[in-house]
C-alpha cells in the first residue's frame, strides 16, 4: 500500500522545529512493509491543506496527518479533512467526558476551543491520546484510509505504536521482521563495499545501510506469511552479514550505544572501572554513567585537565610529562595505571589528546588522541587521528575509547532484542 504523510503546523515552516514526526512515521510504516511516496509540510491554512488533501486522496491509499488538533482557532485539520471528504463534524459525548475529566484534574474550566476538540468527522473511529487533550481518529471511505493525529511527538509515539500500526498490519498478508546491526571501526563506504553482495543479491531479506548519530547501522529485513517464518529467514542472513563484518559489528538491536554494550559486559562480569580523562573532559565517565545500574562497577572518574592534576591525582610522574608531554602514548598509559591504582579498580580507561580548534602542531595535530587502557595488570594504548570540530573530536574519542575496551575484553555481540 502507498502511504503519504502530511505534517500540519506553521511552526514547522518557520524553521525553528525539526520535523521528527515524518521520520518516525515513515520508519514505523516501513517496518510493516508500507512505502511512503510523499511527505508534505503545510501551515495552518485551510485552503492550502484542502488542496493538498485532495491530491493526496487521489494518489495515496493511506494518508496520515499530524498537527492542527489543538483548541485554538488555527487548529483546523479535522474540519478540513471532513470538508474535503464532504462529511459533517459530529459531536462526541464520550470525548466531552474525557475532556471534562482532564480539566477537572487540571483545576481549569473547559473553554469553547476545548469543546471543538470533541467534534470528529462523521464515521471516524477515535484514537485515544493518553498524553494530551487532542484525540486522533481513523476514517475509512472505501478508497482511502485517513489517519488524523496530534502534533507533539510524545503524544503520537504511543498512539502509532499501540493503535495505528496494529490496525494497518491487518491490511497486509505479510509479516515483517527486522534486525538492526550496529557497526563501528569502519567508514560508511567500506561497510557498503563489504556487504554489497548481500545488498545486491537479495530481494527478501533486504539489507540497507544508514548513518545515524550513534554510528553506522545496517537494517536487515525479512517478510513472510507469518512472523516465525520471517524470523527463520532473517537469522541466517544476519549470520552472513556477520561473516563479512566480523568484530566491526558490536551488537544487535535498535538505538544502541557503545556504552550500553560495554556497560552490560562490565556489570555481568563484575569488572570495576575508573576513568582518567583529559581531552574528553568527563564525557567518557558521563557515557558510562548513563547506564542504569552502573554504580555496581563504576567507581571514580578523574578529569585531569592540567599537567599538575595528572601528577597530583593520578600519580603521573612530572619527569614523564616533561619528557613526552601530556598528549603522548606514555602519559595515556600512566594515566590509566594511575587511575586503576588510586581508584582500586580492575580496569581503567584514559584519554589525552588535542580537541582543538587551537593547540595543534605539525607533530601533534588537532584530532590526535591517545587512549590508555589498564586491565588487571596489563596495559594497552591506542593512537587515534580524529576529524571534526572540538565537540565531534571529543564525542568520537569517547566512542573509540569504549570500542577499544570492547575489543580488548572480547565483549560478545549481544542481541538486545532477545532481552525483551
Asked if 158 and 176 touch (Cβ cutoff 8 Å), the reply is: no
Nearer to its own copies, 34 or 124 (CB): 34
Q: C-beta of 238: minimal distance to its own copies in Å?
A: 18
Nearer to its own copies, 124 or 349 (CB): 349
Give how far Cα 226 sits from Cα of 51, 156, 162, 367, Å.
40, 27, 20, 50
Q: C-beta of 26: minimal distance to its own copies in Å?
A: 3
Nearest-angstrom CA–CA distance, 143 and 343: 68
Nearer to its own copies, 91 or 210 (CB): 210
Nearest-angstrom CA–CA distance, 221 and 208: 9
Nearer to its own copies, 139 or 355 (CB): 355
Per DSSP, the three-state class of 53 is helix
Q: C-beta of 318: minimal distance to its own copies in Å?
A: 16
Contacts of 372 (CB under 8 A, 6+ apart): 276, 331, 332, 333, 334, 335, 336, 337, 348, 349, 350, 351, 352, 379, 380, 381
> Which DSSP helix (H) or strand (E) runs through 182?
strand 175-183
Q: What are phi and psi of 114, to 5 degrees?
A: -65, -35
Nearest-angstrom CA–CA distance, 138 and 127: 7
Nearer to its own copies, 126 or 342 (CB): 342
Q: C-beta of 283: minimal distance to its own copies in Å?
A: 4
Nearer to its own copies, 121 or 151 (CB): 151
Cell of 260: 550500553
Per the DSSP assignment, residues forming a β-bridge with 89 are 121
Nearer to its own copies, 123 or 359 (CB): 359
Q: C-beta of 370: minimal distance to its own copies in Å?
A: 17
Cell of 26: 515513515
CA angle 157, 163, 168 (to 5 degrees): 110
Q: C-beta of 299: minimal distance to its own copies in Å?
A: 6
Q: C-beta of 89: minimal distance to its own copies in Å?
A: 26
Nearer to its own copies, 17 or 269 (CB): 17
Q: C-beta of 303: minimal distance to its own copies in Å?
A: 3
> Which DSSP helix (H) or strand (E) runs through 218?
strand 215-224
Asked if 393 and 410 touch (Cβ cutoff 8 Å), the reply is: no
Amino acid at each position: 500500500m502507498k502511504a503519504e504523510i502530511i505534517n500540519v503546523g506553521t511552526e514547522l515552516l518557520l524553521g525553528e522545529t525539526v520535523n521528527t514526526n515524518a521520520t518516525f512515521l515513515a520508519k514505523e510504516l516501513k517496518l510493516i512493509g508500507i512505502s511512503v511516496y510523499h511527505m508534505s509540510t503545510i501551515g495552518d491554512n485551510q485552503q492550502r491543506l484542502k488542496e493538498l488533501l485532495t491530491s493526496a486522496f487521489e494518489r495515496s491509499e493511506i494518508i496520515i496527518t499530524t498537527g492542527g488538533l489543538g483548541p485554538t482557532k488555527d487548529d483546523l485539520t479535522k474540519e478540513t479533512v471532513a470538508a474535503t471528504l464532504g462529511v459533517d463534524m459530529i459531536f462526541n459525548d464520550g470525548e466531552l467526558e474525557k475532556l471534562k475529566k482532564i480539566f477537572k484534574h487540571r483545576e481549569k474550566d473547559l473553554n469553547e476551543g476545548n469543546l471543538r476538540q470533541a467534534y470528529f468527522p462523521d464515521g471516524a473511529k477515535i484514537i485515544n491520546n493518553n498524553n494530551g487533550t487532542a484525540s486522533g481518529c481513523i476514517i475509512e471511505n472505501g478508497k482511502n484510509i485517513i489517519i488524523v493525529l496530534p502534533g507533539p511527538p510524545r503524544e503520537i509515539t504511543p498512539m502509532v505504536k499501540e493503535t495505528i500500526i496494529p490496525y494497518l498490519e491487518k491490511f497486509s498478508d505479510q509479516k515483517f521482521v527486522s534486525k538492526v546491526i550496529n557497526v563501528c571501526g569502519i567508514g560508511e563506504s567500506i561497510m557498503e563495499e563489504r556487504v554489497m553482495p548481500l545488498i545486491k543479491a537479495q530481494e527478501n531479506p533486504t539489507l540497507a545501510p544508514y548513518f545515524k548519530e550513534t554510528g553506522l547501522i545496517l537494517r536487515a529485513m525479512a517478510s513472510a506469511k507469518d512472523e516465525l517464518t520471517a524470523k527463520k529467514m532473517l537469522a541466517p542472513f544476519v549470520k552472513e552479514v556477520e561473516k563479512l563484518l566480523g568484530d566491526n559489528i558490536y551488537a544487535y538491536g535498535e538505538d544502541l550505544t557503545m556504552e550500553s554494550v560495554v556497560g552490560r559486559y562490565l556489570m555481568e562480569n563484575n569488572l570495576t572501572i575508573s576513568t582518567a580523562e583529559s581531552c574528553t573532559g568527563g564525557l567518557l565517565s558521563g557515557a558510562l554513567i548513563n547506564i542504569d545500574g552502573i554504580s555496581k562497577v563504576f567507581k571514580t572518574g578523574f578529569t585531569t585537565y592540567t599537567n599538575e592534576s595528572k601528577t597530583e591525582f593520578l600519580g603521573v610522574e612530572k619527569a614523564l610529562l616533561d619528557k613526552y608531554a601530556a598528549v603522548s602514548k606514555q602519559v595515556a598509559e600512566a594515566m590509566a595505571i594511575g587511575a586503576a591504582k588510586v581508584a582500586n579498580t580492575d580496569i581503567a580507561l584514559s584519554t589525552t589528546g588535542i580537541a582543538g580548534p587551537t593547540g595543534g602542531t605539525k607533530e601533534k595535530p588537532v584530532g590526535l588522541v591517545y587512549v590508555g587502557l589498564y586491565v588487571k595488570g596489563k596495559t594497552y594504548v591506542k593512537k587515534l587521528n580524529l576529524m571534526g570540530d572540538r565537540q565531534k573530536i571529543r564525542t568520537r574519542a569517547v566512542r573509540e575509547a569504549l570500542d577499544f575496551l570492547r575489543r580488548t575484553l572480547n565483549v560478545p555481540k549481544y542481541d538486545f532484542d532477545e532481552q525483551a
